[in-house]
Amino acid sequence: MRSKPTTSAPHFIRNIIEAALASGKHQSIITRFPPEPNGYLHIGHAKSICLNFGLAQDFNGTCNLRFDDTNPEKESEEYAQSIQDDVRWLGFQWQGEVRWASDYFEQLYNYACDLIQSGEAYVEDLTADEIREYRGTLTQPGKNSPYRDRSIAENMDLFQRMRAGEFADGARVLRAKIDMSSGNINLRDPVIYRIRRAHHIRTGDRWCIYPMYDYTHCISDALENITHSLCTLEFEDHRPLYDWVLEQLNVPCHPQQIEFSRLELRYTLTSKRKLLQLVTDQRVSGWDDPRMPTIIGMRRRGYTPQGIREFARRIGISKSENIVDLDVLEGCVREDLEARAPRIMAVVQPLKVRITNFDQAQATSRNADFHPQHPELGNRLVHFDNEIMIEADDFSETPPAGWQRLTVGGEVRLRYSYVMRCDAVIKNVQGTIIELHCSIDANTLGKNPVDRKVKGVIHWLSARHALPAEIRLYDRLFTVPEPDADKAHDFGEFINPHSLTVMQGWVEEAASEAAPESHYQFERLGYFCADRYDHQAKNKLVFNRTVTLKDSWTKEQVASPHIPQGDNEGAM
């Protein structure tokens, strides 16, 4: 009946599908992902993509990609192309050609004529404000429009003239004739067509009337023989309308609409409208800003498709509130990168170190594996020289209790190299440390000292061999878990001032040939990705911090530009 589940743990939608297949109701399943091409997709859409395409994959069915292009003013080819790129990048492929709601415009018009002919739709002359007034409230029923009982012939004539462009935008609409006293406001004669003169990205100016989403979506599903129409919970109250439209018409099938809870991710936003506001207000650099929860932004930051798919699997599918901490997503990405990212050393806040007893004959460079558990990733040469750079945070003149890094008179292990002792501190006239004078124990290359124990291990770079690189440190975009929850304040007030810190750092020369979107673990600093646009442009290396080595965020305060330190690693 199906292959082993790979996309999610058992959940109620999977159970419904299994029952439908077991009973013979369906021989196979067809799902669909139906975004509107009016913006870039975000992490909430990624959850839906993984659900719809994943279920089709697990049950040996198919999934369609269909654009809901019924709102021409806000849609563009740029958005449509980006959505296709996002779906492919996440590792999925739709069945056949991309589908569009506009593919069905003529059929949708004919079905609307069928509703008029059966007395189930009428042309409305009330204004938008009057329609709202007649609709009633949650506690009061609506009242019938004075135009509700027009004859079928008059309604057909007016609807045809609407299509012909005889009336101004907003002058008339077509409404379904259902029940103005229904407890479900969506059934109080909803508008199903409106006049709108707007250039359409696919049909141009051929149409001046456009169908509404609730009317279009269910018919499009039926025309594509969708078996299970999966949507988020805000459409639950729309399901009776979905079913009503299909019950009135002679359509190929009647898909089952099933709702699940939408994803809310803490410390970010999952509203396309509010994400657009961040872009238009220039709070971020664009839809692909690595701080954005857009798929294109997460990709640029260095999140992996595998990590995002694992996140979607891990958070599950239910009807319960789905508010998830951002560190769950970061943890999934971190786990994926742990196994696949080569490890190199980088220094973000360099402090110069002069090796006073450097001997060219004795100071040997070493081969080091890119990954201790994955020898297939190969190795590189780690150079040693008389001048090296260490991380400024790895030295303290007055260290706190338990300090295991470098201090005056103290020793540390240089990763992959010698044990080093700090002998002197050099300062400028302002009293700022500008250089350390240190000595190495030449007998500790690849082995521990025989007469003492050295606990601390720090990363470093040969000053002569290191390559300059722009290091972009990203953190949470907002300082509060739910930035749009406080209606008394604009969510823009909660933007984290430390969400981006750009620093001039240095990396091993092994990264010189890194292609854009290459991943690395910068040892003890975190996981980084070569920027997909700026890296290697004008011979410039640019790395974005994807995630730290461990979750260093606390809910009590906003992270500063300080570079989190990872755990000390093995001495060799």
Residue 523 tokens, joined: 């040892």
How far apart are the C-alpha atoms of 144 and 201, rounded to whole Å?
Answer: 37
Angle, alpha carbons 277-283-289 (nearest 5°): 95
For the chain, percent helix, then strand, then coil, each to nearest 5?
A: 30, 25, 45
Q: How many domains does the chain have?
A: 3
The closest alpha carbon to 226, from 64, 349, 70, belongs to 64
Is residue 150 domain-shared with residue 273, that is, in the same domain?
Answer: no
CATH number reported for the structural domain that contains residue 228 in this entry: 3.40.50.620
The domain boundary residue, chosen from 238, 260, 282: 260
Is residue 495 domain-shared with residue 381, that is, in the same domain?
Answer: no
pLDDT at 450: 87
State residue 537 phi and psi, 5-degree precision.
-70, 130
Dump pLDDT digits (tens) for 242-262: 999 999 999 999 999 999 999
| Residues whose CB falls within 8 Å of the CB of residue 180, separated by 6 or more in sequence, listed in order | 134, 135, 136, 141, 142, 143, 144, 188, 189
Q: Is 272 a catalytic residue?
A: yes
Is residue 370 domain-shared with residue 397, that is, in the same domain?
Answer: yes
Q: Is 36 a catalytic residue?
A: yes
pLDDT at 562: 47
CATH number reported for the structural domain that contains residue 458 in this entry: 2.40.240.10
Is residue 448 domain-shared with residue 499, that is, in the same domain?
Answer: no
pLDDT at 363: 66
Q: Is 132 a catalytic residue?
A: no
pLDDT at 572: 40
Is residue 399 domain-shared with residue 273, that is, in the same domain?
Answer: no
- Of 143, 148, 202, 262, the catalytic one is 262
Q: Whole-model pTM?
A: 0.92
How far apart are the C-alpha atoms of 188 and 137, rounded to whole Å?
Answer: 11
pLDDT at 451: 86
The closest alpha carbon to 472, from 287, 348, 344, 341, belongs to 348
- Of 14, 36, 266, 313, the catalytic one is 36
Positions of the chain with pLDDT under 70: 1-8, 362-363, 551-572
Dump pLDDT digits (tens) for 280-312: 999 999 999 999 999 999 999 999 999 999 999
- Of 47, 272, 301, 405, the catalytic one is 272
Q: Is 544 exposed, middle or buried (0-12, 13-18, 19+ CB in 10 A)?
A: buried
pLDDT at 7: 60
pLDDT at 361: 76
pLDDT at 564: 42
Domain that holds residue 452: 344-466
Is residue 105 domain-shared with residue 249, that is, in the same domain?
Answer: yes
The closest alpha carbon to 179, from 97, 128, 244, belongs to 244
The continuous run of DSSP H or E covering 521 comes out as strand 519-522
